[in-house]
Structure 1
């Protein structure tokens, strides 16, 4: 069709491992949609006998939609016992960032968003402190101040969830949001809340991991990005990084070096999620290149 732009989509699959899966998927895409496979990556978990695959493809077949794909793919998916998702390149996801009074991760995400590194609509910033308002205003992102105390937690989360629903939010990013989300909040956004924790999990969980690491005399400190689950700091890990420290580093040095790591691991996790490069299973993740 003259002027028709090809559709680009990502197919994510996990299923029991067996021979012939890759060939079957490639043959299906070419046969049904005359697809051009732009990128394909796969992983096997030998211990659990599981297969994971990400296929990015383009097609000029105007009939290709999620509903139509589901109908024609059903037979093959059933044969290989596949769990699968099809995501089209557009529209970009709507993202909300939650933050408290530490602003370094928020500032980094806003800078990356400004230069086009994050393929999303950064729809709003939510905070239980006023400190991020000026930064949000500078970048032109709506800011919502919602105080949070132990006595108003249910009311606070209800207000937050209403706001997220109003803006049709697809991903919530906790950029050093120093509040624990309730299980009922997390259940609304399964595998759609990413947190950054200022330690190399599972070591040093809780509120002051740098203080604990300094007291323990560790030689490496780290930061971790992970999906949020009902259990605090126990969700599937997406990315981690570390840096070496020495006896010359004092607690402020650990905090400063740790903040650099936090920026990196959070931005990578958000970028990979937005690019549909993550599959989660058995409280672990597969990250596709």
Structure 2
């Protein structure tokens, strides 16, 4: 079950990431949206389709995003949606770091196991591992989030849904950069800093919902579950979550919060159809 959930999560996050890589023309904080002229986007479409096909070829087959998403891109049906991609990042973060974190993402990383072809990733895109891996016990690179409105399909139905891809702090294995910084005993990170960074992560979600005029958030347990396996030896995830999330919930009391249901099945059920157009779905992704 866990492996199947991870597969579905990776398909969703990297379809969104493919849009971001191929379409994002400028990276800006919070409310602004990257846009390009229709004519320029149309002229650039063949290159972006080629990039999407190459990216899909990098994945191990069982983790690849669906082929129909590339077909939609090729037919020009993602143009309007792609212009809505927004990257959220901390104020004061180095712009070059944010751009590299946005573009240099690992297709699949589960407990530091990389289920993709590194040689092809190097050949096609010029890197083998995500830029976040350049973090150290002395310094973490910025945490970012990527919003997109993306098509989702299930049982022959399709809907455009609002998704924010949020990167939880990963403590599933000691080799993770976050573990090295916060828990290794050699890093500079403190519990107070971790709570502050998690609070910032949650704020991305609610700022995004406000920016996009959405009424509710379907919240995932970002950084929990498998990602917190090694964290539990040092800190209680639920306590950290409460300490970091509660102030954000108070700040954004006008936004309804619900637990993320089973995706994609919920989207096409009676409840999902009634509310999904005005809702933000939170996808917990990795580096």
TM-score normalised by the chain length of structure 1: 0.26
Between 1 and 2, higher relative CO (CA 8 Å, sep ≥ 6) is seen in 2
Larger Rg: 1
Name the structure with the higher strand share.
Answer: 1
Comparing both structures, which one devotes a greater share of its residues to helix? 2
